A and B are shown apart, each in its own frame.
Chain A
């Protein structure tokens, strides 16, 4: 019984040590996932005045490289450059009660060099329009990441056409 208790204590200590190590020294995948959570929180909008939108747009820009290219597809023209992204974010018309962005089914593959990574995910946008009706959209995205001055930033966003509409 004493031996069993020791084994259980050792295993528990190893598990705690493992999670503590990854908490204090997160790998690139964990860092990118944390950045994505932060991006979703920044982009999600709960309403508010124009000043808060400008502040949000400024923070939004910190997630991207200067030469970022965003190609969502669906007939929408590509957006090139961080300055353009921030300008569009500052001017964006937001529905009255805001919306919530989530990144689901995130997969991150970091390059062995530790300087670039590719993430795939489903981005969902849920907003409230009339009464309880929840408008929702979901898009599959591919994001290219690059480490700039020690910080992971997005240099490419490409929309994946899950269902291909004939044109």
Chain B
């Protein structure tokens, strides 16, 4: 029975199992944070109930970029907003007729499938540590959609998988 469970070298098997547990705990506890999408603000990119991971090391070597889908923490890591970056620090961003304009130029957003032309937001200038974030579901009422400026310190990482 022991040889079936642990193989011919039980000590090596146990060490391998222990290493696997530790590596998994580190990877999925600290680096790749599992998340489950709830809400409709990122449709159709992410459907409610779908599972993904937030890579906390994604911005270790580069700054967040336009188009990145990111996790934004609230009071802690247990609940995050998942939004897409459309504006970078120092830029002027506004929404007019459902179109995002960055420094007065319309942003090309192929990931947006449904656009509500009533979406409108006044222009805002992003500070050195601010990003403009918005969900991909532009068909829902703008009043029910969390969007706007997010501080760099609140960005947990980039959504992968």
Q: Mark B45-60, 1 if CB is under 8 A from A, else 0.
A: 0001000000000000
CA distance A124 to B122 in the complex (A): 28
Judge whether B74 and A162 touch: CB under 8 Å.
yes
- Min distance, Cβ B79 to any Cβ of chain A, angstroms: 5
CA distance A135 to B122 in the complex (A): 28
Is B101 in contact with chain A by the CB < 8 A criterion?
Answer: no
Flag the segment in B4-12, B14-22, B145-153 that touches A: B145-153
CA distance A99 to B147 in the complex (A): 24
- Min distance, Cβ A74 to any Cβ of chain B, angstroms: 9
Is A163 in contact with chain B by the CB < 8 A criterion?
Answer: yes
Is A113 in contact with chain B by the CB < 8 A criterion?
Answer: no
Judge whether A166 and B124 touch: CB under 8 Å.
yes
- Min distance, Cβ B12 to any Cβ of chain A, angstroms: 26
* Contacting residues of chain B (83-109) with chain A, CB-CB under 8 angstroms: 83, 94
Q: Is the interface of A mostly helix, strand, loop or mixed?
A: strand
Q: Mark B12-56, 1 if CB is under 8 A from A, else 0.
A: 000000000000000000000000001100000000100000000
- Min distance, Cβ B112 to any Cβ of chain A, angstroms: 18
Judge whether A107 and B75 touch: CB under 8 Å.
yes
Number of interface residues of B (CB under 8 A): 25
Is A158 in contact with chain B by the CB < 8 A criterion?
Answer: no
Is B110 in contact with chain A by the CB < 8 A criterion?
Answer: no
Is A2 in contact with chain B by the CB < 8 A criterion?
Answer: no
CA distance A133 to B43 in the complex (A): 14
Judge whether A164 and B72 touch: CB under 8 Å.
no
Task: Determine which of B76, B79, B123, B147 lies in contact with A163 in the assembled complex, contact meaning CB atoms within 8 Å.
Answer: B147
Task: Determine which of B48, B148, B154 lies in contact with A165 in the assembled complex, contact meaning CB atoms within 8 Å.
Answer: B148
A and B contact pairs by CB, cutoff 8 A, 26 listed: A104-B79, A105-B75, A105-B78, A105-B79, A107-B76, A122-B78, A122-B79, A134-B38, A136-B39, A138-B74, A138-B81, A140-B74, A141-B75, A162-B81, A163-B83, A163-B133, A163-B146, A163-B150, A164-B150, A165-B146, A165-B147, A165-B148, A166-B121, A166-B122, A166-B124, A167-B122
